[in-house]
A = this chain, B = another copy of it.
């Protein structure tokens, strides 16, 4: 019996991280995750650490972080010799970025909800739709 609890194939890793095998290949190619050991035949073998790392990456991607930003975040993890001050500073910068993104999205949400609440959905034709009107905004200077 193989030690399937501590070592698994790329397909299993993909399922664990909820992504495709090709995505893992891609991350390896760009150096976001390390090249794992292989079987005799060349199949990749992963461990829990890899799963955690990939999971982190995928969650960050879901949150719209760019690969470049994730590289930065992973520095927190990959360089444990960093002093606390540096880590703190980077985490704070990252938190500010996140806040900015939240603010942007709140704005977006409000715009969408405003449109929705002004529109009764029925009885309005396109010529008389608040959503269309809301989106057809002329710029101040070039009307």
Min C-beta distance of A79 to chain B, whole Å: 7
Q: Bound complex: CA of A75 vs CA of B124, how far in Å?
A: 10
Q: Bound complex: CA of A127 vs CA of B81, how far in Å?
A: 10
Contact A105 B139 (CB under 8 A): no
Query: B-facing mask of A30-66, CB < 8 A → 1, else 0?
Result: 0000000000000000000101110110011011100
Q: Are A87 and B131 CB-contacts (below 8 A) given A105-B105, A116-B92?
A: yes
Partner of A121, one of B88, B98, B105: B88
Partner of A129, one of B81, B84, B105, B135: B84
Question: Within the oligomer, what is the number of copies of this chain?
Answer: 2
Contact B108 A105 (CB under 8 A): no
Contact B55 A119 (CB under 8 A): no
Contact B53 A126 (CB under 8 A): yes
Min C-beta distance of A24 to chain B, whole Å: 14
| CB within 8 Å of B: which A61-103 residues | 62-64, 73, 76-85, 87-89, 91-92, 94-95, 98-99, 101-102
Q: Bound complex: CA of A91 vs CA of B80, how far in Å?
A: 45
